[in-house]
Amino acid sequence: MPDSDSDRTAPGSPAGQENAGDGPGTRKEAGGGLLMGRVFGVPIYVAPSWFLVAALITWFFGNQLDRVLPELGAGRYLVSLFFAVAFYASVLVHELAHTYAAIRFDLPVRRIQLQFFGGVSEIEKESQTPGREFVLAGVGPLLSLVLGGIFWAGMLTVERGTVPGVLLAGLMLSNVIVAAFNLLPGLPLDGGRMLRAVVWRISGNPMTGTVAAAWTGRVLAVVVLIGFPLATHLTGVTERDSYTGINSLTDALLAAILAAIIWTGAGNSLKMARLRERLPALNARTLTRRAVPVTAATPLSEALRRANDAGARALVVVDGQGAPHALVREAGIASVPEHRRPWVAVSTLAQDIEDGMRVPADLTGEALLDHLRATPATEYLVVEENDEIYGVLSTTDVERAFVDAMTGPAARR
């Protein structure tokens, strides 16, 4: 069962939401599932799909128990349910290893989610060095191997053919399989991230590592799609003794699902890497609208006249000393009919400049997006190093540039 902890959020839309097409607003946890608690300050969610896979594991493992321990009767399904929960506890340990390493490397982790095909640790930033990337990817499979060793040691202390013996054997084998599968050298698996780190270190270019690991992942997806059902056929296993415990058709379906996950994950990793290449084009200075300062009592019509004469597209409300304290909202201006604008003061349409709404003019790329996500707003005051007003940054302009980066030629390659 693959672990897709290499799936990370995209560099982030200006609104700080998962989908680049979402508008400004607070961060969403849509699709997170059931919150089970927090470890290292990171929330742990169980997706609804987990309950489906837990039921499937209970059914499959229960059928296997019927052959090994027929005396259990219907009680075998209770034992199987315990195995399903214990197995996903092992997956959680795997994810916590990634999370702990990320925190040690000062990489923020949004959440951990247990879902249909394993777990996801949503790490919001890329590793700064190939060495850290290698360690961050490798600790998960390493912990799974350690758990496999612990369960194997436990098997030596119990009698074979008993419930504890079968459970320990199943947990040992499943953790070894999780580690082995995730060490396969293709994105989005941990082995793919380790391969990316190695190529990155040799070439000196993280994009070269990503391209190599992503295409290896796509080759791996094809191998899984063809090789898994072919192995069932060539080894001559019967339908009753197929790898899934049901039949060879189910093996083929499982192979198709795994291949689709790997192929899609590899493609997404490549797309996000291409996007990060273009993120430096998101420059606060180049995206900023020229603004004119006005006092709070200035009629809107007069303020717009001054802006038009100056070739500006934004208004900043200043006090008597010229210090900015509010921004006139573009949406507020649009809501006032033209015939009423001479009698509406700009202060009634302004939003006070709060902490985080001042953006350094030299911010670019992910640093700019991180700043905007930290304080969601529709407009921001852009300032120079000496705190001089440079202009106003609108999230609509940033979002448009972000979408252009996602859909541009470099993102489609």
Instruction: Provide the pLDDT for residue 132.
Output: 96
Q: Of the residues 95, 330, 366, 399, which is catalytic?
A: 95
133 is an active site residue: no
Task: Give the integer Cα–Cα distance in Å for 296 and 318.
Answer: 7
Per-residue pLDDT tens over the stretch 338-377: 999 999 999 999 999 998 899 999 998 878 888 888 888 9
| Crossing angle for the helix pair 48-68 and 163-182, to the nearest 10 degrees | 130
If one counts every other C-beta atom within 10 angstroms of the C-beta of residue 83, the result is 23
Amino acid identity at 139? V
Q: Which of 297, 354, 349, 304 is nearest to 320 (CA)?
A: 297
In this prediction, residue 3 carries a pLDDT of 57
| pLDDT value for 379 | 94
- Tokens 């852009």 belong to 382
Question: What is the dihedral sign for C-alpha 409, 274, 255, 65?
Answer: negative
Supply 130's token pair. 């190939």
- Position 28 scores a pLDDT of 42
Q: Summarize pLDDT for 226-248 with one digit per residue, the tens.
A: 887 777 666 554 444 454 444 56
Q: Tokens 């360690």 — which residue? A: 135
Amino acid 408: pLDDT: 61
Q: Of 303, 290, 294, whose CA–CA distance to 391 is shortest?
A: 290
Laid out side by side, the sheet with 389-394 consists of: 358-360, 379-383, 389-394
Domains and CATH numbers, the chain: 34-235+246-280 (no CATH), 284-407 (3.10.580.10)
pLDDT in the model for residue 257 = 82
Would you report the helix, strand and coil content of the chain in percent, each value rounded to 5?
55, 15, 30
Model pTM score: 0.70
Q: Under a CB-based contact definition with an 8 Å cutoff, are residues 130 and 200 in contact?
A: yes
Pick from 91, 89, 65: which is nearest to 79 by CA? 65
Q: Whole-angstrom distance between the N-terminal and C-terminal Cα of the chain?
A: 30
DSSP state for residue 122 in the 8-state scheme: E
Low-confidence ranges of the chain (pLDDT < 50): 5-11, 13, 15-30, 237-241, 243-246, 410-413
Residue 248: its pLDDT value, please? 61
**pLDDT at residue number 402:** 80
